Structure 1
Amino acid sequence: MKNRLALTTVFVAFTVFLFWFVSIRQSLLFLVGIGLGAVLAGARFGFTTGWRDLIERRDASGVFAQLFLLAVAAAFSMPLLASFPSELSAALGPPSISLLVGALVFGGAMQIADGCGSGTLYKAGLGIPLNMAILPVFALGSFLGSVNLGWWLELGHVQPVGLVEEVGLSAAMGLTYLGLIIFALGAWWWSKTSSVSRSLFNKTLLIGAVLIALLAVLNLVIAGQPWGVVYGFGLWAAKIAQAGHLFDPAANAFWSQPVNATALQQSVFLDLTSITNIGILAGALWIFSRNKTGKANKLSGKQWVVGIIAGFLLGYSSRLAFGCNVGAMVSGISTGSVHGWIWVVMAFLGSLIGVRIRRYFGF
Structure 2
Amino acid sequence: MKRLPLAILVAAFCLFLAWSVALRQALLFLVGIGLGAVLAGARFGFTTGWRRLIEQRDPSGVLAQLVLLAIAAAVSMPLLAAYPTDLGAALGPPSISLLVGAFVFGACMQVADGCGSGTLYKAGLGIPLNMAILPLFAIGSFLGSATLDRWLALGALPPYGLVAHFGAPAALLLTLAGLALVGFGVVRWAGRAAPLWNRKLLWGAVLLAALAALNLVIAGQPWGIVYGFGLWAAKLATAAHLFDPSANAFWSEPVNAATLAQSVFLDVTSITNIGILAGALWIAAGKPAAVAKPMNATQWTVGLIAGLLLGYSSRLAFGCNIGAMVSGISTGSLHGWIWVPMAFLGSLIGVRVRRRYAF
Q: Would you call these one fold, judging by a TM-score over 0.5? A: yes
Deviation per CA, 1:308-363, whole angstroms, max 9, x where unpaired? Answer: 00000000000000000000000000000000000001000000000000000000
Match of 1:223 in 2: 219
State the distance in 2 between where 1:290 and 1:221 align.
Answer: 33
Give the deviation of 1:290 after TM superposition: 3.9
Assess if the C-alpha contact under 8 Å between 2:127 and 2:290 holds in 1. Answer: no
State the distance in 1 between where 2:110 and 2:328 align.
Answer: 21
Match of 1:96 in 2: 95
Equivalence map 1:35-46=2 (5 Å): 35-46=34-45
Give the aligned length.
Answer: 359
Q: Which amino acid aligns with 1:261?
A: A
Deviation per CA, 1:72-117, whole angstroms, max 9, x where unpaired? Answer: 0001000000000000000000000000000000000000000000
State the distance in 2 between where 1:103 and 1:121 align.
Answer: 19
Give the deviation of 1:293 after TM superposition: 5.4
State the distance in 2 between where 1:335 and 1:7 align.
Answer: 35
Given candidates 249, 255, 272, the residue that maps to 1:276 is 272
Matched, 1:321 2:320: no
Q: Which amino acid aligns with 1:330?
A: V
Match of 1:60 in 2: 59
Assess if the C-alpha contact under 8 Å between 1:142 and 1:234 holds in 2. Answer: yes
Match of 1:118 in 2: 117
State the distance in 1 between where 2:189 and 2:33 align.
Answer: 35
State the distance in 1 between where 2:355 and 2:106 align.
Answer: 15
State the distance in 1 between where 2:150 and 2:287 align.
Answer: 46
Matched, 1:298 2:294: yes
Give the deviation of 1:291 after TM superposition: 3.3
Match of 1:73 in 2: 72
Deviation per CA, 1:240-299, whole angstroms, max 9, x where unpaired? Answer: 000011111011000000110011110000000000000000000010014335311111
Give the deviation of 1:168 after TM superposition: 1.1
Q: Which amino acid aligns with 2:206?
A: V
Match of 2:337 in 1: 341
Assess if the C-alpha contact under 8 Å between 1:49 and 1:62 holds in 2. Answer: yes
Q: Which amino acid aligns with 2:34?
A: G
Matched, 1:5 2:1: no
State the distance in 1 between where 2:341 and 2:355 align.
Answer: 22
Matched, 1:246 2:242: yes
Match of 2:131 in 1: 132
State the distance in 2 between where 1:248 and 1:14 align.
Answer: 31
Equivalence map 1:181-192=2 (5 Å): 181-192=180-191
Give the deviation of 1:189 after TM superposition: 1.3
Match of 1:288 in 2: 284
Match of 2:171 in 1: 172
Deviation per CA, 1:165-193, whole angstroms, max 9, x where unpaired? Answer: 0111111011101110111011101111x
Assess if the C-alpha contact under 8 Å between 1:54 and 1:190 holds in 2. Answer: no
State the distance in 2 between where 1:176 and 1:151 align.
Answer: 32
Give the deviation of 1:6 after TM superposition: 0.7
State the distance in 1 between where 2:185 and 2:133 align.
Answer: 32
Q: Which amino acid aligns with 1:8?
A: A
Change (3 A) 1:295 1:150: same
State the distance in 2 between where 1:341 and 1:293 align.
Answer: 38
Q: TM-score of the superposition, structure 1-length normalised?
A: 0.98
Give the deviation of 1:306 after TM superposition: 0.2
Match of 1:145 in 2: 144
Unaligned runs of 5+ residues in structure 2 are none
State the distance in 2 between where 1:290 and 1:202 align.
Answer: 26
State the distance in 1 between where 2:254 and 2:274 align.
Answer: 24
Aligned CA RMSD, in angstroms, stands at 0.8
Match of 1:210 in 2: 206
Identity %: 70
State the distance in 2 between where 1:151 and 1:313 align.
Answer: 17
Could you say what secondary structure the match of 1:94 adopts? coil
Assess if the C-alpha contact under 8 Å between 2:95 and 2:156 holds in 1. Answer: yes
State the distance in 2 between where 1:161 and 1:186 align.
Answer: 25
Assess if the C-alpha contact under 8 Å between 1:90 and 1:332 holds in 2. Answer: yes
Q: Moved runs in structure 1, 4+ residues, more than 6 A? A: none
State the distance in 1 between where 2:6 and 2:261 align.
Answer: 30
Unaligned runs of 5+ residues in structure 1 are none
State the distance in 2 between where 1:354 and 1:129 align.
Answer: 20
State the distance in 2 between where 1:5 and 1:28 align.
Answer: 21
